[in-house]
Chain A
Amino acid sequence: MSKLTIGVFSSLVGSLSLDFAVKLSEAAIKKGHAVDFWVSGNATMLSKKGQRAFKDYSALQKPVQELLATGKFQITACEACAEARGYHKEDTLEGCKRHSMDWYLASCFSADRVLHIGGD
């Protein structure tokens, strides 16, 4: 089993890059790999609970919960980015973590592959 670390910066829920990153995570886990997923900037909203799914609109809370249930997927949000957006600890989706960027750096150093998706 190898580990892929994905960092997503800035993208809002509903963005193409965030959809891509979640689907890539699903495919990696199906093939037996582990995935660390870091969300920063606006992408922190992916780890917020209470997301409502609309028809014809990308909804990622359920896929994220299914990924967490595999035990091979970790998602951590940038704590400062979340707080700056008025998203507090009690709003965090169950199973998601919040941390400083040290978590992302440590994950990158221990990963077999890193995909850093920059802001848009």
Chain B
Amino acid sequence: MKLGVLVSDFRNMDDTLSRLKADKLGVILVSNGVYHAAAKEGGKKSSVLEKSPHLYVLSEDLQSRGFSEAEIDTRVKSITYSDLVDLIFTEYEKIIWI
């Protein structure tokens, strides 16, 4: 199964994400979840970025929090709401919100 996970909060999600099993796991950072793409704690990047090679961040939510796309981790792809609709309907069979 191809599973898209909308991560909406900036907290440690290792346990939750590690327990999700999917043939393809996509992590889509939205709302306060966008901090995983750009912020560092104690000089370290978020461990969420290690959970999947398919990482996305919602550009509108990123910009509304004062980040530019130049500040996000290079593994993360910036997307619009329109791109997100395409991901939901064409890339992932199930979508969950955490």
**B89: contacting residue among A16, A112, A116, CB under 8 A:** A112
- What is the interface of chain B mostly: helix, strand, loop, or mixed? helix
Residues from 20 to 37 in A contacting B, C-beta threshold 8 Å: 20, 23-24, 26-28, 30-31, 33
Query: For chain B, which range describes its interface: under 10, 10 to 19, 20 to 34, or 35 or more residues?
Result: 10 to 19
Q: From residue A73, how far is it (CB to closest CB) to chain B in Å? A: 14
Q: Are A16 and B81 within 8 A (Cβ)?
A: no
Highest count of chain B CB atoms <10 Å: which of A4, A17, A20, A30: A20
A81-104 interface mask toward B, CB cutoff 8 Å, 1 = contact, 0 = none?
Answer: 000000000000000000000000
Q: Say what secondary structure dominates the interface of chain A.
A: mixed
> Which A residues are in CB contact (< 8 Å) with B81?
23-24, 26-27
6 contacts between A and B (CB under 8 A): A2-B89, A4-B89, A17-B8, A31-B82, A114-B95, A117-B97
